[in-house]
Amino acid sequence: MDSKNPKSLRDRAEATKNKIQKILDVSGSDHDEEVIKAIEGAVIQALLEERERCAIVAFKHCCDEDRDKAHKVADDIKRLRTALVTNLSSMR
């Protein structure tokens, strides 16, 4: 990706939809918006789940004295995830 011209999640979802249509040899679908939203939702969910998985791995592999800090970070991630989902849902 070109760092001077970052793509939004929406742009990426539209590009993915276009690639899928090209692969399936279809064009002008009546459901473009639904497909784009489904792609966006899948990407968002995958990112949230991966972030949660990373937090759990970090928590399990930290030293005993760092567990409290890791637990706090995991709680912060969960709180931020909830806020992100709420904000993204309100944009639809």
Q: How many CB atoms lie within 10 A of CB 79?
A: 10
| This prediction's pTM | 0.57
Distances from the Cα of 9 to the Cαs of 24, 32, 47, 65, 76, in angstroms?
A: 22, 15, 12, 39, 24
Q: Is the pLDDT of residue 1 over 50?
A: no
For the chain, give every domain's residue range: 9-91
DSSP state of 26: -
pLDDT tens for 51-86 read: 889 888 877 777 777 777 877 888 898 899 888 888
**Contact criterion met (CB below 8 Å) for 8 and 39:** no
